[in-house]
Amino acid sequence: SFPTRRCSDLAAADVARGQQHLFLGHAGLGKSALRALVDGEARDRGFVVARARAHGTRVPLRYDLVRQAIRSACLELASVSSDAATTTGSSWHAALASLALSEPDRTRIAALVDDVDAGPDDDIPLARRRILLRGAIISFFGAVADRRGVCVLVDDVHKGEPSSLEVSAEVGARLHA
């Protein structure tokens, strides 16, 4: 059997210290139950819980998991349920505006989440734009962590696309440093 409660306690304690965990196992092992326990522990500690789910589509959107996590974190900061988000689409923008981010980083994050190609870096070569976007993503999660702490939970991460996985590892390393 899977010692879900003990693993949850250990993971929740590590979340408070900025640690990253990857729960792997066969279907039915209890990973979702463990994720739900960690979610509850993080909320009880006052953390913003950002959620994302990898769908394993044939042509994944670049930074799809990051988009989902950012939007989820902003909605939680704005205390808006994901159902209300469909009717109040600008609520997550208000939460984004409340974070201590530079205006270019805020614009990069908004363009990423809104899936808009236009942004503050249109005249910059693609490689440099990607570097600036990664910096904006790191700054975003840093600003959320500074405000309330942040716990990012991703379901089916093994199906995630490389750009999200790479920047997620970088965010974790930077925030833990």
Q: How far apart are CA 1 and CA 34, in angstroms?
A: 13
- According to the model, what pLDDT value does residue 156 have? 82
Q: How far apart are CA 115 and CA 105, in angstroms?
A: 15
At residue 29, φ and ψ (nearest 5 deg) are -75, -25
- According to the model, what pLDDT value does residue 82 have? 45
Quick one: residue 153, left, alpha or beta (phi over 0 = left, psi -120 to 50 = alpha)? Answer: beta
Question: Would you call 22 helix, strand, or coil by DSSP?
Answer: coil
| DSSP state, residue 52 | E
- According to the model, what pLDDT value does residue 102 have? 94
- According to the model, what pLDDT value does residue 12 have? 55
- According to the model, what pLDDT value does residue 154 have? 86
Number of Cβ atoms within 10 Å of the Cβ of 47: 21
pTM of the model: 0.81
Q: Evaluate whether 155 touches 35 at the Cβ level (below 8 Å).
A: yes
Number of Cβ atoms within 10 Å of the Cβ of 94: 13
H helical segments located in 22-177: 31-44, 64-77, 82-85, 91-97, 103-113, 126-147, 162-176
Please classify residue 117 by burial: count the beta carbons closer than 10 Å to its beta carbon, then call 0-12 exposed, 13-18 middle and 19+ buried: exposed
| Mean pLDDT per 10-residue segment, the chain (177 residues) | 52 58 74 83 88 76 89 84 48 88 93 75 84 94 90 84 87 75
Q: Evaluate whether 137 touches 111 at the Cβ level (below 8 Å).
A: no
